Amino acid sequence: MTEMTEEKSEFKLIEWIRQQRQDGDAKDVITGIGDDMAVVLVGGRKLLITTDVLLEGVHFDLERATLEQVGYKAMACSLSDCAAMAAIPFVAVVAVALPKTMTMDQAQRLYQGLQQAAGKYNCPIVGGDTTSWDKPLTIDVTMLAKVGATEPILRSGAQVGDTILITGELGGSLNGKHLGFSPRVQESRLLAQMVELHAMIDISDGMSIDLNHICCESRVAAEIDARAIPVSQVAQSSADPLTAALSDGEDFELLFCVSPSDAEKLLREWPGRSTVRLSSVGRIIQAKGEQRLFIRQMDGTVEPLEVKGWEHFNE
């Protein structure tokens, strides 16, 4: 994995790309760059699209992961994007750049991992491209999804006063979870059926940086409670469990915002609590200035929270 740094430039890049786009380019585009999936109109119906590239030496290490695990993760990452929008995975295409040293048996094992995730979530692989080169393994999964029972859940709908909730536990994903996590596809659709989800994202880059994405898109701020963060057992054994939970990334849990009354309903009636816990971790507040995240420490004091997690650029 590459170094985790403060979020400094990814959001700037998204804003720059938005500025370059001409009005004519947006025809039939309902939701473009800035969310987990794009939403476009095709024949009058909404279609969701996402793509994820996994690089050997960045997203996986073949000295510690099997090719089946790598294939599974490649599909699961895009499935997690579907979960973040409460969408129904439909079909996928996969492009791979295989090292020239890879054998046919190894390529088949990679595909078996892809197929394992595809079959589990009823999202068949319908095509793609295969090539080879003298560099490390690269996998790109592009996935299409259909609208579920509700409209796609965006990052931009968080409202002041909302409660922030999280599925599962956070931190320590590089100990193995990042290779075999369960995308919250069914859970997200169940959540959307039970309550009105205002905003949602999957935690791929780290809780603080992904919550910051929601705050930036929704033009709000957030205050989280250090005592309420669901720290995983693996993270609890680290040098700084809270920091691990807030910034490790690749947990692929859901972070979402709902009204306080809907949050109470979920915590009271959530049918999946025996397998996937829900935790209320904070609230959405009015934005004042550039600082978007705050944390209520164990002693009750509230301080600015540094945004840390996966960042694609270093400045």
Report yes or no: 220 and 37 within 8 Å, Cβ to Cβ.
no
Dihedral sign of CA atoms 119, 122, 123, 126 in order: positive
pLDDT for the residue numbered 295? 98
In the chain the domains, ranked by start, together with CATH numbers, are 22-147 (3.30.1330.10), 163-308 (3.90.650.10)
In this prediction, what percent of the chain has a pLDDT beyond 90? 83
pLDDT tens profile 195-251: 999 999 999 999 999 999 999 999 999 999 999 999 999 999 999 999 999 999 999
pLDDT tens profile 126-149: 999 999 999 999 999 999 999 988
Taking the model in full, what pTM does it have?
0.91
CA 166 centroid distance within chain:
12
Give residue 25's identity as a one-letter amino acid code: D
H/E run at residue 191: helix 185-194
In three-state secondary structure terms, 88 is strand
Give the pLDDT band of residue 309 (cuts 50, 70, 90). Answer: confident
For residue 24, pLDDT over 80 is answered with no
Mean pLDDT throughout 176-186?
Answer: 95
Separation between Cα atoms, residue 173 and residue 77, nearest integer Å: 14
For residue 9, pLDDT over 90 is answered with no
- The larger pLDDT score, comparing residue 18 to residue 129, is at 129
Report yes or no: 300 and 228 within 8 Å, Cβ to Cβ.
no
Give residue 90's identity as a one-letter amino acid code: F
Count Cα atoms within 13 angstroms, Cβ side, for 116: 20
* Phi, psi angles (nearest 5°) of residue 92: -140, 150
Burial class (CB in 10 A: 0-12, 13-18, 19+), 282: buried
Separation between Cα atoms, residue 235 and residue 229, nearest integer Å: 12
Separation between Cα atoms, residue 76 and residue 95, nearest integer Å: 15
In this prediction, what percent of the chain has a pLDDT beyond 70? 90
